[in-house]
Amino acid sequence: MNVALSPVPTPRAPIAAPPPMAMLAELTHRCPLACPYCSNPLDLAKASEELTTEQWIDIFRQAADLGVLHLHLSGGEPAARRDLVELTRAAASFDLYSNLITSGVGLNENRIKDLADVGLDHVQLSIQGSSPISADRVGGYKGGYDRKIAVAGWVRDSGIPLTVNAVCHKQNMDQLDEMLDLAVKLGARRIEIATVQFHGWAERNRRQLMPTKEQVLKANQTVAEASKRLEGTLVIDYVPADHHSTYPKACMGGWGRIGLNVTPTGKVLPCHAAETIPSLIFDYAYKTPLADIWYNGQAFNAYRGDDWMPDLCRSCDRKSIDFGGCRCQAMALAGNAAETDPVCIRSPLRNQLVEKAAEDAAAQPGDFVYRGR
Amino acid sequence: MSDQPQVVITDSSVVKLPRGVRLRRDPVRNHMVLLAPERAMALDDIAVVIVQALDGVKSVDVLSQEFSEKFHAPKDQIAQDIKAFLTELSNRRMLEIVQ
């Protein structure tokens, strides 16, 4: 008998990954605001589909065991969860650094005191603009601006440190100085200024949101000057517009290297937009241990290391700086998540991207397509 | 926007960690880590000793004297190192100036 000997095919070994530093827990997709650049998916989870309190607490415990240090309690609007104080208490009991990412709507003075008492470490409050009329128009919620000002005061009184988060775009980028002023006035120690990322809802609002190159250059300059002037008063973290950059951003600090996202229904994602990549398989945190998902999950291993990269990226001297950029952007613009991020100056699609961005930037903005409305 | 006076750390400064900045052991990576909003800094042994000594009561001068005796090192050098480290923390808004 002739037996053909061939090596047993070994399953592709997962690439060794460091333990995760951070977890974003999207407690709910419910939100009173309807920002046209919301990072939640187009298909929003219903309240009835959300994880229970016990399920979330078990996920927090697993995250802490896995090496997560920062826990971001986000949404939607996390204050829409009635168990927010209980969840925060649990996070503190696992020694997780808890950060509440909120619009402020749904918080009152007593609730903030309760959160402070159970050990909330930090609050990140979004602002949509520097005046009530412009901000409330972007958020799609009348009275939102005034509420945020009040919430910032209660947070300050509670002693919890405050970060202001400003997403900037075509229609508010010229208010950057005023938004920096507002952050200082509100007593924030830190501001995050992030240019809109064009996925999901923002992709539907490109003509309303895409900044011009001139706006971006001016914003870069404003931020550089303010960083110097406000050193020791306000820390500024800035995400510039990557459609106007030379190289792509190190998206998520590299795929499956730094952090993970858990959706309201318990699906575990390498980034909040990962569901736009159809070839990925996601696991649920209430079915599979979190450590197993992080180290062995198909979605997490899909773009780790450089095996997946096209030659252009694998041979590139920047691959350990930007890790190949944003996979979801490659999916959206090149039709293949394993392509070079079209933002990169070396991508063959770069010119197309720049032309499209310039066209949307020059366009007269129409009405916003509000999230979930 | 008005210019804010920058904090200068001197020998007489008395400081402590503000709420929202805390030191803890990271058992998974086996080191001490200083946590702040969106920041996690691994600290070496000397930095840990300094951070643990920030009680909001003792001045930089007093701490330098104590470390000088404890580690048998020149006080001036220690004071320089402490001030440089604390200035770094202060610029990142990771320090509360008590006095």
Phi/psi for A288 (5° steps) reads -120, 140
Sign of CA dihedral A301, A303, A304, A310: positive
Question: What length is written for chain A?
Answer: 373
Residue A12 has pLDDT above 90, yes or no: no
Rounded distance between C-alpha atoms, residue B79 and residue B81, angstroms: 5
Compute the average pLDDT of residues A241-269.
92
Q: Are A246 and A318 in contact (CB under 8 A)?
A: no
Confidence at A6, pLDDT banded by 50, 70, 90: low
Decide if pLDDT at B2 tops 50: no
Per CB-CB distance under 8 Å, the chain A contacts of B18 are: 161
CB A353 within 8 A of CB A342: yes
Q: How many helices (H) and strands (E) does chain A have?
A: 15, 10
Interface of A with B in 113-132 (CB under 8 A): 121-122, 124
Within chain B, how many helices (H) and strands (E) appear? 3, 6
Confidence of residue B3 (pLDDT cuts 50, 70, 90): very low
Number of structural domains found in chain B: 1
Residues 36-95 of B with CB under 8 A from A: 37-38, 40, 90-93
Whether the pLDDT of residue A7 is over 70: the answer is no
Among candidate residues A82, A100, A330, A101, the one with its CA nearest the CA of residue A199: A330
- Average pLDDT of span A258-277: 96
User: Position of tokens 């300094």?
Assistant: B50
List, in order, residues 6 or more apart from A272 with CB less than 8 Å away. A24, A26, A39, A40, A41, A261
Token pair, residue B31, equals: 């080191």
Which two tokens mark A169? 């775009």
Size of interface A-B (CB pairs under 8 A): 72
Domain-embedded: residue B64: yes
Q: Across the strands, what pairs with A25?
A: A73, A262
Tell me the whole-structure pTM to 2 decimals: 0.93
User: Average of pLDDT values for A252-277?
Assistant: 95
Residue B2 lies in a domain: no
3-class DSSP assignment, residue A294: helix
Rounded to an integer, what distance in angstroms lies between the CA atom of residue B27 and that of residue A288?
Answer: 23
pLDDT at A35: 97
**What is the structure's pLDDT at A3?**
58
Does some domain include residue B6?
no
Model confidence at A13: pLDDT above 60: no
User: Using the beta-carbon criterion (under 8 Å), do B40 and A121 form an inter-chain contact?
Assistant: no
Q: d(Cα A31, Cα A37) in Å, to the nearest integer?
A: 13
pLDDT digits (tens, 9 = 90+) for A290-334: 999 999 999 999 999 999 999 999 999 999 999 999 999 999 889
Average pLDDT over chain A, rounded to whole? 94
A304/A245: higher pLDDT: A304
Asked, for residue B51, whether it belongs to a domain, the answer is yes
pLDDT at A16: 76
Domain harbouring B75, CATH code: 1.10.10.1150
Average pLDDT over residues A1-13: 54
Question: Does residue B75 lie within any of the structural domains?
Answer: yes
Residue B43 within any structural domain of the chain: yes
* Cα radius of gyration (chain A): 21
* Alpha carbons A213 and A39: distance in angstroms, whole number: 23
**CB contact set of A198 (below 8 Å; sequence gap of 6+):** A206, A209, A210, A243, A329, A332
Domain holding B39, by residue range, is: 14-93
Would you state the structure tokens that stand for residue A279, as one six-digit string? 């070839």
B48, two tokens: 């840990």
User: Is B48 a domain residue?
Assistant: yes
Phi, psi (degrees; rounded to nearest 5) at A346: -90, -5
Number of residues written out for chain B: 99
Contact with chain A for residue B7, Cβ under 8 A: yes
Q: Which of A176, A274, A200 is nearest to A36 (CA)?
A: A200
Q: How far is CA A167 from the centre of its chain?
A: 11
pLDDT-based confidence at residue B99 (cuts at 50, 70, 90)? confident
How confident is the model at residue A252, as a pLDDT? 87
So what's the pLDDT on residue B1?
40
Those of residues 36-75 in A touching chain B at CB distance below 8 A are 65-67, 69-70
Q: Do B33 and A69 touch (CB under 8 A)?
A: yes
Give me the helices (H) in A159-251, please. 176-185, 200-204, 206-209, 213-229
CA dist A199 and A326 (Å) reads 11
- B7 domain-assigned: no
Separation of alpha carbons A352 and A246, rounded Å: 14
Asked if B38's CB is within 8 angstroms of A70's CB, the reply is: yes
How many Å lie between the alpha carbon of A158 and the closest alpha carbon of chain B? 10
Distance (Å, whole) CA A260 – CA A197: 18
> What confidence tens digit (pLDDT) does each residue in A62-116 have?
999 999 999 999 999 999 999 999 999 999 999 999 999 999 999 999 999 999 9
Contacts by residues A275-283 (CB-CB < 8 Å, ≥ 24 positions apart): A275/A41, A276/A41, A276/A199, A276/A200, A276/A328, A276/A331, A276/A332, A277/A302, A277/A327, A277/A328, A277/A331, A277/A337, A279/A337
